[in-house]
Amino acid sequence: MKNQSITEAMLQFIEESPTAFHAAANVEALLLENGFEKLENLAEGALVPGGSYYTMQNGSAVLAVKIPENPAKGFRIAASHSDSPCFKIKEVPEMKVENTYVKLNVEKYGGMILSPWLDRPLSVAGRVFVAGKDGKPEVKLVNLKKDLLIIPNVAIHFNREINNGFAYNPQTDMAPLMGLDQELSIKKLCAEAADVAEEEILGSDLYVYNRDKGRIMGADDSLIGSPRLDDLQCAYATLRGFLASKPEEFISVYALFDNEEVGSGTKQGADSTFLEEFLEIVLENIYPDKNRLCKRSFYQNSFLLSADNGHAVHPNHPEKTDPTNRPYLNGGVVLKYNGSQKYTTDGYSAAIVRQICNTWEIPLQTFANRSDIAGGSTLGNISTAHVSIPSADVGLAQLAMHSAFETAGVKDTEALAQLAEHLFV
């Protein structure tokens, strides 16, 4: 794998993944392309040694497994998430202003930086549901793929304080303008995209996304800029490593969860039984004779790599970063620490990551929050509250996390892909 080629492939993956549903569908397509079988029947004997399988939850979360031919010692898991902060479109969205404008009623999804969403081309993607067989609704992914919306700033002439610290109101300041035709309807546009009649749509989950394309940037081509780097950069890198791996000693698991940006407390999130039940099903199929104590030992010999992007030292505000744990763009994988266990890395799990990185000459750096600045949380501690296995939190360094357009290093995707590949042994 070469830095630029994997970066360009990752940027293409992000462009084709405007929502968590599209990201999961694109992961599924790559799994199928690589010979994975979808688990439709989870009965005894559905999985066999040497097989590669996957399952999905809610159309936005994926679990995939590679089972070695020989008896395994435990699980090796890499987890990331499919969602990113954005605007969710409310159920009745159109708002008309002075019989001239049509704008959309939206709400925040996740902890967003609001200002970068203004004055840039936006569109709508997500899924709609129509009547299906046996009373079960049928889902159709939609992506309107048009410069459909814009959130216009108020001119500085009308807001002289705009550069002195302006607080945007999500309800009044962030409503996207759709156009001037008073008959405009998001539901109608989505029906056309899904090739169904408007009245056939029974439900929907629709989001606003940034239309800007990801790109390689910088005078020396050392940077990448893109929407949704958090966390699709990690999701893609760990998937590439997973697909390239040839496990022999451990059962390899790729996990892509949804709803991390809003706390993971959903059936498709890390704070669900999705992973726990999946691992139990794998064990029951492959090793049906293992007793409870043997399974416990199997879990203790397992390992989870929680992969979610981290904060690089900011060129304009280096003082925001811890004095000694200071990751930089293109510095490689970031090993993340937190005394309150918002990140799960401890001495044991750090040693596992460092041993892999040292053996394969993968660049590694460390991150910790300043002691007077609270940090965020991620997947590791939430997942291991359900499945008690050792875990380390890693990520890739980026700037402007949770912005509509984020910045990272061109070399780092390759570093995480290598770590994931050599984790799965």
Residue 148 pLDDT exceeds 50: yes
**Tell me: the pLDDT tens digits for 319-346?**
999 999 999 999 999 999 999 999 999 9
Judging by beta carbons within 10 Å of its beta carbon (0-12, 13-18, 19+), is residue 352 exposed, middle or buried?
middle
Show me where the domains of the chain are located.
3-84+227-423, 86-210
Closest CA to 89 of 239, 189, 7, 1: 189
Question: Residue 285: which pLDDT band, with cuts at 50, 70 and 90?
Answer: confident
- The answer to whether the beta carbons of residues 251 and 65 sit under 8 Å apart is yes
pLDDT (mean) for 151-168: 94
Strand partners, 62: 56, 256
Of 131, 125, 130, the C-alpha closest to 109 is 125
Percent of the chain that is helix, strand, coil (3-state, to 5): 30, 25, 45
Strand-pair category, 223-226 with 215-217: antiparallel
Please identify, in words, the CATH class of the domain defined by 86-210. mainly beta
Half-sphere exposure for 223 (CA within 13 Å, toward CB): 13
> What is the DSSP secondary structure assignment for residue 50, as one 8-state letter?
T
Classify residue 375 as exposed, middle or buried by CB count within 10 Å of its CB (0-12, 13-18, 19+). middle
Residue of 233, 395, 285 lying closest to 65 (CA atoms): 285
How confident is the model over 242-247, as a mean pLDDT?
Answer: 96
Strand 364-368 and strand 406-409: the pairing is unpaired
Average pLDDT of every residue of the chain: 95
For the full predicted model, state whether its pTM sits above 0.85. yes
What would the mean pLDDT of 284-307 be, rounded to a whole number? 86
* CB count in 10 Å sphere of residue 69: 11
In this prediction, residue 297 carries a pLDDT of 87
**Identical fold between 3-84+227-423 and 86-210:** no
Judge whether residue 114 has pLDDT over 70. yes
Question: What contacts 228, CB < 8 A, 6 or more positions away?
Answer: 14, 17, 18, 84, 406
Q: Are strands 223-226 and 52-57 parallel, antiparallel or unpaired?
A: unpaired
Q: What percent of the chain shows pLDDT beyond 70? A: 98
Please choose, from the candidates 224, 216, 218, the residue with its C-alpha nearest in 3D space to the C-alpha of residue 406. 224
Give the rounded percent of residues in the chain with a pLDDT score beyond 90.
89
Dist. CA 19–CA 259, nearest whole Å: 11
Q: Which residues have CB under 8 Å from 288's CB, separation 6+? A: 44
| pLDDT beyond 80 at 46 | no
- Please report which confidence band the pLDDT of residue 295 belongs to, taking 50, 70 and 90 as the band edges: confident
Q: Which three-class secondary structure state does DSSP give residue 150?
A: strand
* 3-84+227-423 placed in CATH 3.90.550.10: no
Pick from 219, 260, 309, 357: which is nearest to 10 by CA? 309
**Helical (H) or strand (E) element with 342:** none
Q: Which two tokens stand for residue 166?
A: 């302006």
Residue ranges of alpha helices (H) inside 309-373 are: 347-360
Q: Which range among 207-221, 225-239, 293-307 shows the weakest confidence by mean pLDDT? A: 293-307
Report whether pLDDT(1) > 50.
Answer: no
Residues 6+ apart with CB under 8 A from 345: 335, 336, 337, 338, 353, 380, 391, 392, 393
At 18, the amino acid letter reads P
Q: Is the pLDDT of residue 4 over 80?
A: no
pLDDT of residue 345: 97
Which has the minimum average pLDDT: 13-27, 262-276, 288-302?
288-302
